[in-house]
Structure 1
Amino acid sequence: MSSTRAYEVDARITAPGVSEIAAKQSTIRFDSSPRMGDELPGPAELLCSAFAACLLKNVERFSEILPFEQHGASVHVTAERQERPPRFTTIRWTLRLVTDEPPGRVDLVQRNLAKHGTVYSTLAAACDVSGEVMVVRPE
């Protein structure tokens, strides 16, 4: 038996070229202008942000489940878009993980990120997604 969970946001245009998303107790402003703006993230950056959030959330989740000791993480995400038809073709990521865990345990976390991340799995079904974990030893 499969269960489902629903997620909700509300969004609105607040000024020409500026919109905001309301989710839970947060508001996220973004560029909704016809062209690519320089100040606010646009939909593509928000998609990359959701992907990065998925990775970091699951690092924390796997830290408890496995357990896996980590002392922090950061991620860089790049998405490539083609013009016609407009769609993302690739998403590349690099996760910097501060840990003393052995390489085999780090590989397990990387496999679990790809296997159990909701945003990751959804995007991987639509385009090529790949990345690597770079271990940073704690000081």
Structure 2
Amino acid sequence: MLKYKNCYINYRINANSKSNDDATIHIKKSSIDFVTTNSTSKSLPNPAELFLGSFAACMLKNVERFSKMMKFEYQKTDLEINADRLENPPRMDNIVYSLIIYSNDEKLNTRLLKKNIEKHGTIYNTVKRSCQITGMIKVESLQ
């Protein structure tokens, strides 16, 4: 559904599981297995990790998006996310990220990029309504 001035976009995924087995999320042509049993808790992502993965995907998609709009080039990024989970009620309480962008481009304005990511990220904005987010963006020169 689209609405003039306020754009509403509908997303749809499918997920399934079997009793005493793990589950799978199906998104477009991708499938992501995740843990619902104890037997694979060391090898498959859990729902909290998938949540943080979505947060990471939002940030990295916006790095690419804003590299075009802000006209800077980069070779790659590394993003590390740490989060604290509260027990009662169970929820994410604090997310801290460190984003390293590998670039020699002097036009890369990290302060503006950070502002744009924080202002225009769908997942970022959804999460910040319920949890504290802090982070930094650093540029590393290419050798």
4+ runs deviating over 3 angstroms: 101-104
The one-letter code sitting in structure 1 at the alignment partner of 2:10 is A
1:105 to 79, 86, 109: 109
> Partner residue of 2:95?
91
| Corresponding position: 1:63 with 2:67 | yes
Residue 34 of structure 1 deviates from its aligned partner by 6.5
The one-letter code sitting in structure 2 at the alignment partner of 1:94 is S
2:119 to 105, 115, 124: 115
Q: 3-state SS of the aligned residue for 2:109?
A: helix
Structure 2: tracts of 5 or more residues without a match? none
| Corresponding position: 1:75 with 2:79 | yes
The one-letter code sitting in structure 2 at the alignment partner of 1:51 is F
CA contact (8 A) 1:18 1:33 kept: yes
Q: Structure 1 residues 72-81 or 93-102, which shifts more?
A: 93-102
**For the residues of structure 2 that align with 1:118 and 1:70, how far apart are their CA atoms?**
23
Residue 103 of structure 1 deviates from its aligned partner by 8.4
Q: Deviations over 1:34-86 (max 9, x none)?
A: 69811100000001100111111000000111112211112011111100011
Residue 93 of structure 1 deviates from its aligned partner by 0.6
Q: 3-state SS of the aligned residue for 1:132?
A: strand
Q: Structure 1 residues 18-27 or 100-109, which shifts more?
A: 100-109
Q: Deviations over 1:12-36 (max 9, x none)?
A: 0046241000000000000012698
2:26 to 22, 25, 35: 22
Count residues with an aligned counterpart: 139
CA contact (8 A) 2:110 2:138 kept: no
The one-letter code sitting in structure 2 at the alignment partner of 1:43 is P
CA separation of 1:133/1:91 partners in 2, compared to 1, >3 Å: closer, same or farther? same
Structure 2 length-normalised TM: 0.90
The one-letter code sitting in structure 2 at the alignment partner of 1:56 is L
Structure 1: tracts of 5 or more residues without a match? none
Percentage of matched positions with identical amino acids: 33
**For the residues of structure 2 that align with 1:120 and 1:36, how far apart are their CA atoms?**
29
